[in-house]
Structure 1
Amino acid sequence: MTINPYAGSPFSYATEPAVGPYSIVELMPGVRNLLEYTGLKAGERVLLLMEHTVDPVVVQAIAAAAAYRDADVRILSVPPFSPGGWDREASLHIETAAFREADLVISGTWWGEVHTAPLFFDQIKSRSSRFLSLHMTATAGALLTGGRLPAEVFYALLSRTLRQMSGARSIRVTSARGTDVTFSGLTFDPDPGAMRPGDWRPFPYGGANFWPADTEGVLMVEDSTVTGVPEESLRITLEGNLVRKIEGGAAAEQLRRYAPGGFYMRHGLIGLNPKVRVAGGNQFEREKHAGAFYCGIDGLTDGQPVTTGPGFAHCDCQVDRPTVLVDGELFIENGRLLMLDEPEIRQVAARFGPPDVILDDNPIMILPRRYTGGGAG
C-alpha cells in the first residue's frame, strides 16, 4: 500500500474542514472549559484575534459564550501570520494596539506567537492582558475532543507529573523508529493555577513543558511544523543542546533552509491530555495527547541560542508513541501514560464521571457532554 505522507500535513486553517452551523451546540462544552480556564469575569474586555481562515462557527461559539458571561467582546479578523519571521516587515500595529487594550486575548492563529516579535512571550508578559492561544487549535475538532477534558483532571495530571519530574536529572525519550535522546539540566513550567495578567496559555491544555540545558542523542522526526510527515526518515543529531546534523532527503533540506544559521533545542513537552485527538488532528494537537512527546528546535541568533526573543525558525518535532524514562524510571511506555492508572488521578476523574471513560486515551471515543465538567452528572 502506498501512503502519501503529505495527506496528514495541513498547512493552515484553510485546509481544515468547515462544520455545519448546528455544530455550535456540540462545541459549547469545550468552549465553557476554555472560558473557565481563562477565569473570565463579567465586564472584562475580550479580544478574539482570529485569522481570516478560522471556521466562523468556532469564532461564533467562543464569542457567544463570552457574551453570555457579560463580557465586552470584540472580534478582530486578521491575515494569517507567517512562519519563522518570513514576513518580518509586516505591520502588526492594529493587532498589537487591540491586544494592549484587552483584559483577555483569545488568539486563533496557525503559527502562533512564537513566530512574531510584536506578540512574542516577552511582549505578552509585559502587558496586563491574559493571553490564551489556540495555536493551530481554533477548530471544531479540537474543541470537541481535547477541549472537553475537565480542567481539574488536567491539573491533577500536571501536578503529579511535576512532582516526579521537577527534581529529575534526566529525561530519556526513545521510540520504535529510532529516537534515542536524553535531556538534562531541566527547568519546568510550574503548575500555573489561575490565569494572571501577563500569562500566556495554550488551549486545549496539554502537557508539562520544560527547557533543557543539555540535549544529547538522535531524534527521528515523525511529523514537524516545517516538514509535515516526512517521506523519508528525518534524523536530527544533537550534541551539547545544539543540532549538529540533519539527514533525510527533501525534508532535511527543507529544515536546513528554514534556519540556515542552525538550530538549538529550545524546549520539550510531555503530553498529558487523554482526549486530544490523534486521527485527523494537526501536529500541534497530537503533541498534547497523553503519552505523546514533542520538542521544539529554534533558530540560532548570530550563532547563539537566544531565549529572550523569537529565533524566527521555531520547529516543533513530534514523537507519537515514545517510551519515556525519568531518571531511569518508566513514565511512558510505547505511548501509554502510566499515571492514567494511578488511584489519585482516578479519584479526581471520578468527580466528573466513570474514570474509565474520563481517562480513556482513545481520542476517537469523544467524552460525553455530561462528563465534561458542566455539573450535570
Structure 2
Amino acid sequence: MSMPELATDPLVGLPPALNPEVTHTKNYFAALENFQRTFAFGQGDKVLLLTDPLLDTRVADAVMGLARARGATVRQYMESSSQITEVPEAVKALVAEADFVVSTWFCSIFDPYFIARRAAGQRWVKITYFRDLDLLHTPQARFPAELVGEIIRATATRYPAGRDFTVRFADARGSDFSIDYTPAMRELLLAHNRWRGKMFADEPGCYVHYLPTHGPNLWDRTAHRNDSTAPVTMSGTLYPQWAVGFAKPFTERIGCRFESDTIVEVTGEGSDAAILREMLVGGRLIELGCGFNPKAPRHTIYPAGSNAPGALHFGIDLARPSEYILRTMPQWEEPPVHMDLVTLDSTVTVDGQPLIEGGFLSALRDPAVRAAAAKFGNPIELLETAI
C-alpha cells in the first residue's frame, strides 16, 4: 500500500512565534523592574557617573532620571575611553564625595583607590553590559535578577567550607587545569555581595553588574586580599574554544600552559595560535569568570566572554599591549593589555563533585533554585531554555 502524500501546505509541528506586540510591553516593564531595583538610589545620595564617549547617552539619561526622581543628585565625568587602567588623580576628589558610583571604566574592579572607597561603604554598579538602552528589550534584561542570585548562591555551596579543596577544569579538547583553594581563600572570595547572591546595589560597599548577567568569578585576586604578589597554586593546560576579538571559534587545538597564574607556553601551528602566542606568553590570569543568567546568549562572547550559565572566560592581563587587539578592536571596552579566553563546554569539578558538566551549570537543577524559579513561572523554561 502506498503512503499518502503529504499536504502541500507548510508543515507546522511547533507553536508559532508570538507577535512581539503581544509581549513587548509586559517584557519591557519586567526589565524596568530589574533596572530600578539594581540602581538603588536613595534620597540625598550623591551619584557619580564615570563614563566614556561611546556610551549610549540614553543610558546615562536613564540613570540620571531615576536618580533625580528619588531625590539623589548626579554628576558625570567622561574620560576619553573606557579602557583606562587606573583612576586619574583629577577624578579622585569627585569619587571621594560620591555615595554611589556608576561606571563603564575597565579599572573599576581592581583600582586600589576604588577598592578603598567601597571598603568605606561606597556602592557601585558596573555597566559593561548596559552600553545601549535597547538592551532593556532583551531576555537577559528581564530575567529575574533575584533568581540569578539564587543560582549564584547554589553554586557557592559547592565550594566546601573549612578545608582545602581543588577545582579542576576539563573538556573534550584535553584541558587539564586546576586551582587549589584554602579555607581562607574560600572565605575571602565568597564574602562579597555577588557571591552572596545580592544583585542590587543596596548595601554598603557593594559592587554589582548591570545587566544582571556577569556573575562573580570562580577565582580572582579577592581570594588573596587583592595582593598581586601573593603566590597562587594553579597549573595545567587550557585549550580555549574561542577568544574575544576572533570572529569565530578556533578550528585547531590551541593550548595555553600555566605555571602558577602565568601563561608560559602557547601551542598550535595555525595563524590564530601564532597570534595568541605573541599575545599571551607572560600574561597573568586575573579572573576566571562564569556566566549565571540563563537568558544571556551563549555564543555572544563580545565584549568580555559569554554570560550564559556555565560558560567561562579566563581574563588574562598581558605582559605588553597587543598589536592584534589594537588593530582588530581599537574601540574595545577593555584595554589592549587584556584578553578573555572562552570555553563554552567545560566540565568543572570541586574535589570530584560537579560544578559545571559539559558547559551546563549544575546549580540550575538544585531543588532550591527550582523552587525559587517556580515563583516567577515555569522553572524549566526559565532555567533551561537557552538563547
TM surpasses 0.5 = yes
Summarize the Cα distance change of 1:147–1:159 in structure 2 as closer, same or farther, 3 Å threshold: same
Structure of higher RCO (CA pairs closer than 8 Å, 6+ residues apart): 1
Aligned AA for 2:143?
Answer: L
* Kept in 2: contact 1:38–1:130 (CA 8 A): no
For the pair 1:173 / 2:166, whether they are aligned, the reply is: no
Q: CA shift at 1:355, angstroms?
A: 1.7
Counterpart-to-counterpart distance in 2, 1:24 and 1:72:
30
Summarize the Cα distance change of 1:154–1:106 in structure 2 as closer, same or farther, 3 Å threshold: same
Counterpart-to-counterpart distance in 2, 1:247 and 1:351:
48
Residue 81 of structure 1 corresponds to: 82
Counterpart-to-counterpart distance in 2, 1:36 and 1:77:
25
Counterpart-to-counterpart distance in 2, 1:293 and 1:280:
12
Question: How many percent identity over aligned positions?
Answer: 24
Residue 236 of structure 1 corresponds to: 256
Which of 314, 337, 349 is matched with 1:295 structurally?
314
SS in 2 for 1:164: coil
Aligned AA for 1:135?
Answer: T
Residue 19 of structure 1 corresponds to: none
Aligned AA for 2:293?
Answer: N
Residue 20 of structure 2 corresponds to: none
For the pair 1:282 / 2:306, whether they are aligned, the reply is: no
* Kept in 1: contact 2:267–2:277 (CA 8 A): no
Counterpart-to-counterpart distance in 2, 1:166 and 1:316:
28
Aligned AA for 1:181?
Answer: F
Which of 217, 221, 226 is matched with 2:240 structurally?
221
Residue 323 of structure 1 corresponds to: 347
Structure 1: any 5+ residue segments left out of the alignment?
1-22, 302-310, 364-377
* Kept in 2: contact 1:31–1:65 (CA 8 A): no
Q: CA shift at 1:76, angstroms?
A: 3.4
Residue 67 of structure 1 corresponds to: 68
* Kept in 1: contact 2:291–2:310 (CA 8 A): yes
Q: Deviations over 1:125-146 (max 9, x none)?
A: 3554212111254234654333
Residue 130 of structure 1 corresponds to: 123
Q: TM-score, normalised by structure 2?
A: 0.70
Residue 108 of structure 2 corresponds to: 113
Q: CA shift at 1:345, angstroms?
A: 0.7
Aligned AA for 1:132?
Answer: V
Please provide the CA RMSD for this pair: 3.5
Residue 229 of structure 2 corresponds to: none
Q: CA shift at 1:343, angstroms?
A: 2.1
When Rg is computed on C-alpha atoms for both structures, the one with the higher figure is 2
* Kept in 2: contact 1:263–1:298 (CA 8 A): yes
Summarize the Cα distance change of 1:141–1:324 in structure 2 as closer, same or farther, 3 Å threshold: farther
* Kept in 2: contact 1:322–1:333 (CA 8 A): yes
* Kept in 1: contact 2:263–2:280 (CA 8 A): no
Q: Deviations over 1:12-39 (max 9, x none)?
A: xxxxxxxxxxx99966643542442343
Q: CA shift at 1:362, angstroms?
A: 0.9
Residue 207 of structure 1 corresponds to: 215
How many residues align? The count is: 322
SS in 1 for 2:37: helix
Summarize the Cα distance change of 1:26–1:101 in structure 2 as closer, same or farther, 3 Å threshold: farther
Which of 73, 93, 96 is matched with 2:92 structurally?
96
Aligned AA for 2:304?
Answer: F
Q: TM-score, normalised by structure 1?
A: 0.71
Counterpart-to-counterpart distance in 2, 1:141 and 1:232:
33
